[in-house]
Amino acid sequence: MPAFLRLPRRIAIPSTLVAAGISTAFTLIGTAPAEAHVKWFAPYIVGAAPAPITATLTNLWFWLAIVLVLGFFIITRIIEKGTVGESVLLEMDRLSNPLWLRLDDFVRVVIGAFFVAIFAVGGIYLTPDLKTGYEWVSWLQLAIAAGVFSRKTMPFSAAGIILLWVLALRDYDIFHLLDYLALGVAVAGYLVLEASDNPELRKHRFEMLRWGVAIALMWSSLEKFAYPEWFYPLVDEKPFLTFGMPRNVFIPMAGVAEFTMGFGLLWTPLVRRLSAFSLFIIFNSAVYPFGRIDLVGHALIMAIIVAIAVDPTREMHFLPHLKKSLKSVPVGLVAALVIVAGSYWGLHTALYGTEGSRSDAGGAVATHTFDPEHPHAATPAGSPGMESMSMPNTSDATLAFEATMASMNGPMMEGMADPDPDRAFVRGMIPHHQGAIDMGNVILKFGTDPSIKALAAHIISDQQYEIVQMQNWLAANGGPATP
């Protein structure tokens, strides 16, 4: 029987360790209380020039967060190197062993449930912001879900996942999709390895998932440094997320927490599992305030985090000797920051230039779905599937503008019919502002003049903030919210 399955009946854990664990957990959790994906809930422009990397390197709060997390990692490694650390790991093994024995079933069920969920939502490729008008995509998602329950069909499901990413790549910007690529490839790779008859290949299936989540987290965390303004509407709408901290303090510290915990998933067993536990709490904390769209969108990553947390494997395949040294913790974290951040800023410059302009006429990608519970009520302007609305000699841009007017007029007139003049004004202005946001998104999709596109982006941000103010007023004054 493997050593990690020979578990003692009772293990006494020193109170000092418990205190250290609680304090470090709160340090991490308090830094990033809700890990909602900003692109699902707030306006963004992928092609815009990011803030210079020097702005992050001269940020006091960035370095404070780095020091706090490094302290957590080093303390954990000191504990892990002794008998107490092994006792903690054995206790974790004992508690998680029932799920570990059925972990493949758990992961496959969640993968299947995820694709059934996005089939039911409809109109998306793999995540809420990757929209499509092709109906057959949803049926492909259902076929992927069905295929994960047989080892014979798992490779076909894996191929279907890669196909969805390629289809999304055709409709969306490559840079926009990079934070999803690692996770999609990891899930597809897991299905291929799980179906393999080669035990040497199959034993790496959970490691494949771990690398996918780690890379996805580290990459997406850099948005908080490159584009902190993307997060302003989110924290303004839900100020409780920051625990009272100013947004310019909270956002960089949250970015550090996300990056370093992603890095921790690739480190030693105790660091890896504690990072996974913290991430699981953080992702779950986002479900209630952000609704079903967050639960569906993050279902795969949350399931993989659970798999990492319950994995009792002690063996390390990537730089195992380096990780044993305490000095390797800061060295490894610095190396990860240099590689990932260098790739992020370098690739953005290669694709868009130093000023953030694009070589094609399509414009920078931008989207915003205001109602997170009903994100796909209408086909997005200019997306595949709008051809069915086409009229002879009518441009896609014109049709898209007409669609924004059609969706705005009814709710606006209905709101202004409210007998109370204050509520009538607010209820009419909310769809009016949403119409302005929709028109802004059209110009970001089809426009060619950089100054007009910049103005549209500014309008989107301002109108969104004012919508939040008006909805808050309605909620406080007994008026029905306007969809």
Mean pLDDT of 229-249: 77
User: Where is pLDDT greater, at 453 or 291?
Assistant: 453
pLDDT in tens, 356-392: 654 333 333 344 333 333 333 333 333 333 333 333 3
Q: What is the mean pLDDT of residues 434-456?
A: 84
DSSP state of 107: H
| pLDDT value of position 390 | 36
As a whole number of angstroms, the distance between CA 93 and CA 200 comes to 23
CA–CA gap between residue 341 and residue 336 (Å, rounded)? 8
- At 440, is the pLDDT very low, low, confident or very high (cuts 50, 70, 90)? confident
- Residue in 38, 50, 45, 44 with CA at minimum distance from that of residue 348: 50
What is the structure's pLDDT at 309?
92
Burial tier of 248 (Cβ tally within 10 Å: 0-12, 13-18, 19+): exposed
Q: What is the mean pLDDT of residues 177-186?
A: 83
Share of the chain above pLDDT 70, in %: 81
Task: Give the mean pLDDT of 185-213.
Answer: 92
Percent over 90 (pLDDT), the chain? 29
Q: How confident is the model at residue 94 (pLDDT cuts 50, 70, 90)?
A: very high
Q: Does the structure show a pLDDT above 80 at 345?
A: yes
Taking residues 452-474, report their average pLDDT. Answer: 83
Are 114 and 153 a contacting pair, CB within 8 Å?
Answer: no
300-335 core/surface letters (b: 16 or more CB in 10 A; e: else)? bbbbbbbbbbbbbeeebeeeeeebeeeebbeebbee
Q: What is the pLDDT of residues 48-93, one digit of tens each?
A: 788 888 888 898 999 999 999 999 899 999 998 889 988 999 999 9
Instruction: Give CA–CA dist 265/308, Å, rounded.
Output: 8
Average of per-residue pLDDT across 331-350: 91
Is 17's pLDDT higher than 50? no
Q: How confident is the model at residue 144 (pLDDT cuts 50, 70, 90)?
A: very high
pLDDT at 382: 37
Give mean pLDDT, residues 314-332.
82
Rounded to the nearest integer, the mean pLDDT of the chain is 78
Residues 6+ apart with CB under 8 A from 346: none
Which tens digits make up the pLDDT trace of 32-44? 444 556 666 666 6
The confidence score (pLDDT) of residue 363 equals 36
The pLDDT score that the predictor gives to residue 246 is 84
* Burial classification of residue 448, based on how many CB atoms lie within 10 Å of its CB (0-12 exposed, 13-18 middle, 19 or more buried): exposed
DSSP state of 13: -
Q: Is the pLDDT of residue 128 over 80?
A: no
Question: What are the boundaries of each domain within the chain?
Answer: 38-352, 386-476
